[in-house]
Structures are given as structure tokens and as C-alpha cells.
Amino acid sequence: MYFANLLQAVSTILGLASVVVRSETIELDWDIGFVQANPDGLYERRVIGVNNAFPLPRLEANMGDTLIVNAKNSLDRLTSLHGHGISFRNNVFSDGAVSVNHCGIPPGQNFTYKLELTEQGTYWFHSHSGGDYADGLRTSLVVHPPNDTKHFDYDEDIVLTLSDWYHEEAYTLGKFLTSDKNPAGYEPPPNSGIINDRPENIYNVDTDKTYRIRLINTSTMAVFHVKVDGHQMRLIEVDGTDVNAVEVESVELHPAQRMSVLITTESEAKFNYLIHADMDPDYFDEVPDGLNLNLTASLIYGENLPSAPKEEHYWDTVEDTSLVPIEEQYYQEPSQEFTLISDIMQLDDGAPHGLINGVTYRMPKVPILMTMLTTGEDAANPLVYGPRSNAFVTDFNVTIRVIIENVHLDAHPFHLHGHKFQILTAGPGSFIDSNGVNITSPDWNPVRRDVVLVPGTGHAVIQFLADNPGAWPIHCHNNWHMMFGMFAVIVEAPLQLQKTTSYDVSTYSDQCMLNGFKAEGNAGGDTGLDLKNAPDSPTLINYGIHAKGIVAIVFCTIAAFIGIASTIYFSKQLSEDTAFERRKLMQPE
Ligand SMILES: *[C@@H]1O[C@H](CO)[C@@H](O)[C@H](O)[C@H]1NC(C)=O
Ligand SMILES: *[C@@H]1O[C@H](CO)[C@@H](O)[C@H](O)[C@H]1NC(C)=O
Ligand SMILES: *[C@@H]1O[C@H](CO)[C@@H](O)[C@H](O)[C@H]1NC(C)=O
Ligand SMILES: *[C@@H]1O[C@H](CO)[C@@H](O)[C@H](O)[C@H]1NC(C)=O
Ligand SMILES: *[C@@H]1O[C@H](CO)[C@@H](O)[C@H](O)[C@H]1NC(C)=O
Ligand SMILES: *[C@@H]1O[C@H](CO)[C@@H](O)[C@H](O)[C@H]1NC(C)=O
Ligand SMILES: [Cu+2]
């Protein structure tokens, strides 16, 4: 990083900046290991850090730069790294989603990730293995625009990551949560919230300057509302897409989402102000006593100035679909359409599971990408990826529509790797019962993001151009829900991928083997469509008894475990009989 910045400074001094497009290669050595830290100032615990430190180094680069991260895994289990929102075009082995395009880094070994930063915006870099990102393995990644596509004037960036924080390790909590001891899929509320993975955040600001505040939601499950006292906010970016500025009172961020807002400081330094980041209690099953929902950072105009008088603030929401990207991409009629019905329920192993079309994801023996590259023409057949991979195979260079129908009561922030997709519509109820997609004009330019919030018992419809062959997960980014298996994979243009990507099995086979995977063949590690060795996963409990039966069973079991919390969860469940009715209609037997 320093080296790159230094080069930049030198080239600016030499006056080279205006004649050459600089693109730097930024190379980092990251040793991933456990360290002791006290991120919320309330409790010291073991967290996952880098090079013996926590929080992790912030990543920053210019558009066009390449980031190389040589990661060593010094944990006692496999791990991985993923650049959230980065397209990984031509670097399909660097996306880092374990079991999809990566076998993970075995303990004691290294892996080199390559991120070509071809798009400006606010991103983040985090583990894509188990709950490791919730235990600390995450940081911001800001890609600065070059002058000619810098759509807004601002003087400086302020980067705020917002997260919930648990005093117990996600690794341990996850084991309990995904077991038959937690049949109703209860999600424990966090112990606190943190900004920038540290207890205190103070920003010194100057008068009459414009700051771009970049917000990154690195939460497990918390939803934040952000507001700056005394300053009008203008929303200009969502998930790496610059949009026509919208004045907002506050912004709402779901897990894994990013937003940028501009604020202009006052001409006269009179007060110091607070930036508020409030966690929304509606997204928790339970709010424990003593959980401070309302976090703050400080904007300091002058050390000796008084604090601004307290302000009443309310939570505003900006509909994604009302935002208009500055760089236009017009709506196209889709050529292929997939429907994903998402749910969470107890399956026949007694544990809670996330479901896509009735199937809970189970890691195949061979990561999807490696199956795509080693099964010839079979790669275009969804069967080759196994019965539990939720694989959706696309053609090349056509428009793909994905309809997500959520029959569960919780809202789910769905993330797709490899693309910024257009959001055509999102709302309550099912898409089939809605007015459909409203094509407002031939040059309709829908908002593009990489995370879409699918409301509880609601729907969302997204589209993207299948021009990036690879294996791209589409999953809920609520970390608990992802652990429950609410996960599918877009198998994008496998035959095209075979033409453009050379793959030497021996490059990855040793690491894959150490982590329990194979590096070639179908989902069972065999050839052709012989899938007898492909992993299986639990299945649905007979629906005959479902609606009332499961509620009764689950209620008795869980009440013993979690007491009051489950009653709250259940009052949510019971008030929504319709969800159960719809499940019966939509789930396969
Ligand atoms: C970009 O704009 C800044 C401020 O206007 C200027 O100082 C800088 O030289 C420009 N860089 C290039 C590469 O044009
Ligand atoms: C592994 O990573 C460490 C630190 O990240 C680095 O010092 C070392 O050179 C790497 N080893 C190899 C073989 O690349
Ligand atoms: C962050 O993401 C989590 C998980 O989706 C979500 O519950 C929370 O509301 C988000 N917070 C913000 C500020 O977006
Ligand atoms: C947190 O902020 C919200 C919004 O201003 C407010 O309604 C709520 O009362 C605050 N909660 C606490 C505990 O201060
Ligand atoms: C993708 O499709 C468009 C329009 O159908 C065509 O112009 C373009 O050449 C295609 N690109 C590739 C790489 O095949
Ligand atoms: C479609 O969008 C237009 C323009 O925003 C709006 O006037 C119209 O009511 C919408 N139609 C439906 C069916 O939602
Ligand atoms: Cu979810």
C-alpha cells in the first residue's frame, strides 16, 4: 500500500500523472491468525487478525490497480478470502467461495488471490468460509475513481464499517445454531455493535469541505440506520454503483451492503457533531438488556468546541428501485429465467436449514468451478453438480432473470458474486401475485447492486448479463442463514469458460485434498453423470403434519432451551399462518 501511494506521489511530482494512466500492482503478505482483541471495549476475546494485528489493514487502491494478496493460513482450520463486489473476470480461481470456486487454504499453507480492480466503488474483503468473517476476518476495500469518471466532487473519504459483534466466537455459536438443538432456527442477538472494528471513532473535519462517507455493513445480522447530525446527506453510491444524488434524512444498510453519502461541512466551526448508526431492533429475534443499539462516531470541527444540541432523528428509507445509476445500462428482455424459493425450516435431521426450492445446500466433493472445467459437455447439465448444490446453469452472453420468492418471515439480503445486477422490483407478497415488472420506458436504467433485500414473505427480481463465465454463489448474507445452507450457485456459461480458461488440476489438487475436496470430476468426484458419491443433505419433513405439527414440536423443544427468546420468535411465526400455507403450495413433496 505505502509503496503504491509513494509511487503515486512521485509520479505526481514528476508531472507524469496527467499523461499516463497509472495502474499499480499492490502486493500484500497476509498471515491470517488468532489474536486477542477488544473491539467493542467491553470484552477481550480471541479474534481472527492479520499479521498479528486487529483490526485488519484497510485496503485502498485506484481503479485499474491490481491487488495481490498472498495469504498464509495460520489458523487451525481451513479458511479463505473473498473480494465482495469484485467481478473476478478472468481470475475465477480468486473469488474465494469455498466449495464453489475454491477449496480453501489448508492450515499452514498459502494461497494467492488476485483482484483486478476494474470498477470504482466501495467494497470489502472478507472470509468466505464458515463464520470467519464474523470473527474478524474482514476489512474495507475502497477503489477510488479516476478523474474522468469521478462523478461527484468531494475532498476526502471517511470509511465506516458497521457491524454487530458477539462475545462468543461465531465458529462455536454456529455449531450450536446449525444443530438439532436449535430446530426453530433461532438467531442469537449480538452483544454489541461496532464501527470500524474498534471502540472509538473520531474524525477531524475542516470547514467548507465535502466528505464522502463510505458505509459498509459487515454485520452478521444487524441492520443499521445512519444519520449525520446537523448536515444534509446526499446518497450517491450503492454497492459500487454511483447514482444520481438523492437527499436523505438517514440511510438503511443491510448486511453486506454499501452506500456512500456526501456531506458538506459548515462554513463556521461552532459545534462538534455525531454520526449515528442505529441498529434496527426489528431484525433481531430478541433484544437483550444492556445491548446498546445506537452507535456513534464523532465529527470534530475543533477540540474545544461544544457538542451540538441533541437532534431528534427519524429513520428514512430510500427504495432501491427509485435510484438511477449515472452510468447507464438499459433494461433488456431476459432469455433465461430462474425462480429461487427461499425458506428456513427444520429438516428431517432435526436441525434448522436454509432452503432454496426445498433443497438445503451441501458442499459438493468437487468445487463447482472445477466440475465446470473437467466434465466436458456434461458441464452444461445441472445434474453433474449433484442433487444438493442448487446449481443453475446459464448460457453465455444472454440476459438472465432471477426471481427470489421468500416464503420465510425474515428479510434476506441476497448477494450474487461476479456481477452487479439490476433490481427490477422488490416488495411484499409473491412475485406471481404482483403486478409484475413495470417496464417504464425503452431506456429504463434500473439500479444495480450486488445485494438485494428480499422482504419477509416477499420477493425480488434481478437481472444480469451472463458475460462473466464462472461459478457464482447467490446466497443470503445474513451469516447465520448462510450457515443454515440458504445458498445456490449460478453456473455461468460453462462451455464458454472451458474455451477461455486453462486449468491444470495439479495446481490445486493437493490443497483440495487436504481440505477434503477433489479438484476434478462431477459433484461426487467421479466421471460422467455417475453421482453415487455426491453428498446428500437432509430433506423436508412430511408436510401432512407440517403447519400445526411443527409449530407444536418446535415450540416444546426450544422453549426449554432458550426460554423467553423463543416465545418472541414464535409469536412472529404464529401470526403468519399464510407463510405456512404458501410453503405447502410451493415446496416440492
Ligand atoms: C485529477 O484531478 C485533480 C484535482 O482536480 C488534479 O490535481 C489531478 O492532477 C488530476 N489527475 C489526473 C490524472 O488528471
Ligand atoms: C506465505 O505467506 C507468507 C506471509 O503471508 C510469506 O511470508 C511467505 O513467503 C509465503 N510463502 C510462500 C511459499 O509463498
Ligand atoms: C448490515 O447487514 C445486516 C445483515 O443483512 C443487516 O441485518 C443490517 O441491517 C445491515 N446494517 C446496515 C447498516 O446496513
Ligand atoms: C436509538 O435511536 C432511535 C432513533 O433515534 C430512537 O428511537 C431510540 O429511542 C434510540 N434508542 C436508545 C436506547 O436510545
Ligand atoms: C454478446 O452479444 C452481443 C449482442 O447479442 C454481441 O454483439 C456480442 O458480440 C456478444 N459478445 C460475445 C463475446 O460473444
Ligand atoms: C409503472 O411505473 C409508472 C411510472 O413510474 C407508474 O406511473 C405506474 O403506475 C406503474 N405501473 C404499475 C402497474 O405499477
Ligand atoms: Cu437470510
Q: Which residue has the cell 500484500?
A: 28
Secondary element (H or E) of residue 7: helix 2-13
Residues 387, 414 share a domain: yes
Q: Name the residue of 224, 278, 280 to mutate for ligand 4: max ligand atoms within 8 A of Cβ.
A: 278
Residue 451 alpha carbon, nearest atom of ligand 3? 5
* Atom 14 of ligand 1: nearest residue by CA position: 18
Angle at 97 between CA 96 and CA 99, to 5 degrees: 120
- Can you give the pLDDT at residue 21? 57
From 411, 403, 392, select the one nearest 436 (Cα to Cα).
Answer: 403
Task: Among 273, 290, 318, give the residue marking a domain's end.
Answer: 318
pLDDT number for residue 378: 98
pLDDT score for 150: 94
**Residue 581: inside a domain, yes or no?**
yes
CA 479 to chain centre: 9
Say yes or no: 345 and 308 in one domain.
Answer: no
Residues whose CB is less than 8 angstroms from the CB of residue 254 and which lie 6 or more positions away in sequence, other chains included: 217, 223, 411, 413, 451, 453, 477
DSSP 267: S
What is the reported pLDDT for 570?
34
CA–CA–CA angle 570, 134, 52 (5° rounding): 160
For a substitution probing ligand 4, which of 226, 227, 289, 294 has the most ligand atoms within 8 Å of its CB?
294
**What is the reported pTM?**
0.86
Cβ of 151 closer than 6 Å to ligand 4, yes or no, is no
With respect to residue 229, please indicate whether it lies within any of the assigned structural domains: yes
CA of 517 to the centre of ligand 6 (A): 50
Report the helix count and the strand count for the chain, using DSSP H and E. 9, 30
The ligand with the least distance to the CA atom of 343 is: 7
Q: Domain end: 318, 344, 372, which one?
A: 318
- Give the distance (Å) from ligand 7 centre to CA of residue 369: 24
Domain that holds residue 349: 336-514
**231 with 370, same domain?**
no
Q: Are residues 206 and 309 in the same domain?
A: yes
- Quote the ligand 4 centre to 77 CA distance (angstroms): 40
Length of the chain measured in residues: 589
* 273 within some domain: yes
Q: How far is CA 513 from CA 106, 113, 131, 371, 561, in A?
A: 9, 19, 22, 15, 38
107 located within any domain? yes
Maximum alpha-carbon separation in the chain: 76
According to the model, what pLDDT value does residue 563 have?
31
Ligand 7 centroid to Cα of residue 17, in Å, is: 45
| Residue 97 sits in the same domain as residue 168 | yes
Domain-located, residue 533: no
Instruction: Identify whether 98 is part of a domain.
Output: yes
Per-residue pLDDT reduced to its tens digit, 527-584: 999 999 999 888 887 644 344 333 333 333 333 333 323 333 332 333 344 444 444 4
Of the candidates 112, 35, 33, 123, which has an alpha carbon nearest to the alpha carbon of residue 83?
123
- Report how far residue 210's alpha carbon sits from residue 190's, in angstroms, rounded to the nearest whole number: 34
Residue type, 240: G
Nearest residue (by CA) to ligand 1, atom 2, is 147
SS (H, E, C) 17-45: CCCCCCCCEEEEEEEEEEEEECCCCCCCE
Q: Clarify whether residues 101 and 48 are in a common domain.
A: yes
DSSP-assigned letter for residue 448: E
How deeply is 23 buried, as exposed, middle or buried, from its count of CB atoms within 10 A (0-12, 13-18, 19+)?
Answer: middle
Assess if residue 331 is contained within a domain. no
Give the ligand with the smallest distance to the CA of 452: 3
Instruction: Decide: 262 in ligand 4 pocket, CB within 6 A.
Output: no
Pocket of ligand 1 (CB under 6 A): 17-18, 147
The rounded Å distance from CA 232 to ligand 4 centre is 20
d(CA 78, CA 100): 15
In order along the chain (589 residues), what is the average pLDDT of each group of 10 residues? 40 40 89 97 96 96 97 97 95 97 97 97 92 93 94 96 92 88 85 92 96 91 90 95 94 86 96 94 84 94 94 84 95 96 90 92 97 98 97 98 94 94 95 91 95 94 98 92 92 98 96 97 97 91 46 34 32 37 38
Q: Do 413 and 265 fall within a single domain?
A: no
Q: What are the residues whose beta carbons fall under 8 Å from the beta carbon of 58, sequence distance 6 or more?
A: 139, 140, 142, 159
* Residue 309 identity (one-letter amino acid): P
Q: How far apart are the first and last CA of the chain?
A: 54
Residue 12 sits in the same domain as residue 60: yes
Torsions phi, psi of 69, nearest 5?
-115, 115
Q: Please state, in angstroms and rounded to a whole number, the distance separating the CA atoms of residues 15 and 541.
A: 69
Closest ligand relative to 19 C-alpha = 1
The number of folded domains in the chain is 3
Q: Is 110 in the pocket of ligand 2 (CB under 6 A)?
A: yes
Same domain, yes or no: 572 and 469 = no
**Residues 192 and 46 grouped into a single domain:** yes
Strand-pair partners of 258? 216
Does any domain span residue 570? yes
Please identify, among 318, 352, 371, the residue that sits at the C-terminal boundary of a domain: 318
Strand partners, 121: 143
Q: DSSP labels for 65-77? A: -EEEEEEEE-SSS
Residue 14: DSSP 8-state? T
57-69, pLDDT tens digit by residue? 999 999 999 999 9
CATH number of the CATH domain containing 408: 2.60.40.420
| 3-class DSSP assignment, residue 198 | strand
273 and 134 in a single domain? The answer is yes
Looking at the structure, tell me whether residues 240 and 140 fall in a common domain.
Answer: yes
The crossing angle, in degrees rounded to 10, of helices 551-562 and 564-574 is 160
Ligand 1 atom with least separation from CA of 22: 13
Ligand 4 lined by 313 (C-beta under 6 Å): yes
- 8 Å CB contact between 535 and 362: yes
CA distance 583 to 571: 18
**Residue 542 burial (C-beta neighbours within 10 Å; 0-12, 13-18, 19+):** exposed
